[in-house]
Structure 1
């Protein structure tokens, strides 16, 4: 059974920055990731461009150069691979967390026993840096389990000449609608509210509004989906029951943190907001020696924290652990 001072769960940009900070202090650590490196970014649309500029995505004092001010997904993946290789970070991919047990160790300090899909470890500290993008918000309706229903979008070529329903009103839904339309799909937007979301990027809003006005993208407002079948989708729109023919559904209804993981680590979670209780200075949670890093600290409010404003979390946590 291998012992590390710190076990970091999640190999996203912030998890990697925690590993770099630990390595700089000569503190032993291991990063485990249930998917591939920066798995959330890997699941972004193929042609996506970051909202942030490249320098605001940098970690470990390594420059991030890109062809334009806002880097592409592919440039981001290349950058974080390069960071991992440069620092020779101790990352184990495709290894998922399974359970944790708190034990007293020989020195009397708290010690954890962590079981994963590959191995069992002991450690003195745990950093949860799992983000939120890996856990989609479920529709909880009949038919959501069908293969044609997707919560992630990568590319639109396969949607050519297909009837596509997109559920959502924010950036991800609007991006899918525009990409699908441009690849020759018959596109219908289903929006729960009375308008497109206020957070839609300013350079995208005129595009989708024009496509809707032209009739190239159909839209139903105040729409609540009730059932999805193999060939149709049913919903209520302004108190009217509507069913339309359908080949693919993209439920871009948002994502949430893995609250179950945080609860397994002993972290107190607000049942309404999903907000974890933690020290805003040290990022230590109500579970002693368990820390949060990155966007996971925002609970169900996934629009508050990003890579650019949580890059210092690793330094804060490692500084606190070092002082302990």
Structure 2
């Protein structure tokens, strides 16, 4: 069983930033990631463009050069992959962490492949792996997906997009432009202000001209193999349908957090407990980093405002080592 000063769970941008900072400070560290490098970004839509500009996505001061001010998914994959490979970051990929337990002052980390021990642990697991379900009959049909990848698949198909987030709006526009017959189901009375400012006029104009159909103040009642039934303010509407993209957001893996002993707030926000000055959780030596810190408020933390977590955590670890010695 190999021992490390620090194990980082999650190989996204913030997990990589933690690894870089640990390496610079001479810590014996390991990043464990259940998928490929920056797994969440890899699973983003192929043509996705970030809301943030490239310099705000940089970690450790390493320049991120993109073709436009706001980079696209493929450019981000290239950027973070090169950081990992050129800096020889110690990362194990496609290795899922099952449990983390602390005995005395040592953490025991059990994965699908092997076991480790560590003095400290950072959880930087993000929130993209568990979709928010809409909990209606038929949601488990093969025609329904909570993830969107490529608009080509939906050409000449009757597509329903549920939601009005950035991902839902992007999917609706891209699929419409590739020949899909798109209908949006939006719970609110309009397209929200959190939609990317350069995209919002586009979707509103496509709706106004009738290119994309929309039901505002509406929800899905039932999904059938060849139809979908929608609750509107006036009545239930039944429309022909081939595919449904239920892009209603994602949630952190709260079960994993609770299983390892991290306390969550009692309300629906489920904010994990941590010291915002050190990022240390209620478990001594176990830290939280990145969007996981926001609980259900997944819009609070992004790469650009949570990349500082890496320096904050490693500084605290080093200062604790100095005080002990």
TM-score (norm 1): 0.96
Query: Would you say the 8 A contact 1:136–1:253 is kept in 2?
Result: yes
The CA deviation at 1:226 is 2.2
What is the DSSP-based 3-state SS (H/G/I as helix, E as strand, rest coil) of the residue aligned with 1:30?
strand
What is the DSSP-based 3-state SS (H/G/I as helix, E as strand, rest coil) of the residue aligned with 2:291?
helix
Q: Deviations over 1:141-180 (max 9, x none)?
A: 2222222211111110111110000000121111111111
Q: Deviations over 1:24-44 (max 9, x none)?
A: 111111111111110111111
What is the DSSP-based 3-state SS (H/G/I as helix, E as strand, rest coil) of the residue aligned with 1:323?
helix
Per the alignment, residue 5 of structure 1 pairs with 5
Counterparts of 2:17 and 2:113, CA distance in 1: 23
Select 1:306's aligned residue among 280, 299, 302.
302
What is the DSSP-based 3-state SS (H/G/I as helix, E as strand, rest coil) of the residue aligned with 1:308?
helix
Q: Deviations over 1:245-295 (max 9, x none)?
A: 111111110111111111122111013211111100100011221100011
Per the alignment, residue 107 of structure 1 pairs with none
Counterparts of 1:133 and 1:305, CA distance in 2: 13
Per the alignment, residue 91 of structure 1 pairs with 91
What is the DSSP-based 3-state SS (H/G/I as helix, E as strand, rest coil) of the residue aligned with 1:210?
helix
Q: How do 1:1-324 residues align onto structure 2 when only pairs under 5 Å count?
A: 1-104=1-104, 110-271=105-266, 272-324=268-320
What is the DSSP-based 3-state SS (H/G/I as helix, E as strand, rest coil) of the residue aligned with 1:309?
helix
Counterparts of 1:292 and 1:29, CA distance in 2: 16
What is the DSSP-based 3-state SS (H/G/I as helix, E as strand, rest coil) of the residue aligned with 1:173?
helix
Q: Deviations over 1:177-230 (max 9, x none)?
A: 111110111110000111111211221111111111111111111111122122
Query: Would you say the 8 A contact 1:265–1:287 is kept in 2?
Result: no
Counterparts of 1:267 and 1:292, CA distance in 2: 10
Counterparts of 2:259 and 2:5, CA distance in 1: 20
Counterparts of 1:171 and 1:98, CA distance in 2: 32
Q: Displaced runs of 4+ in structure 1, greater than 6 A?
A: none
The CA deviation at 1:313 is 0.6
Counterparts of 1:30 and 1:177, CA distance in 2: 40
Counterparts of 2:192 and 2:276, CA distance in 1: 30
The CA deviation at 1:239 is 4.8
Query: Would you say the 8 A contact 1:265–1:290 is kept in 2?
Result: no
Gaps of 5+ in 2: 321-325
Counterparts of 1:198 and 1:52, CA distance in 2: 16
Counterparts of 2:248 and 2:154, CA distance in 1: 20
Query: Would you say the 8 A contact 1:60–1:83 is kept in 2?
Result: no
Q: CA RMSD in A?
A: 1.1
The CA deviation at 1:17 is 0.4
The CA deviation at 1:297 is 0.5
The CA deviation at 1:58 is 1.0
The answer to which of 65-74 and 277-286 deviates more is 65-74
What is the DSSP-based 3-state SS (H/G/I as helix, E as strand, rest coil) of the residue aligned with 2:257?
helix
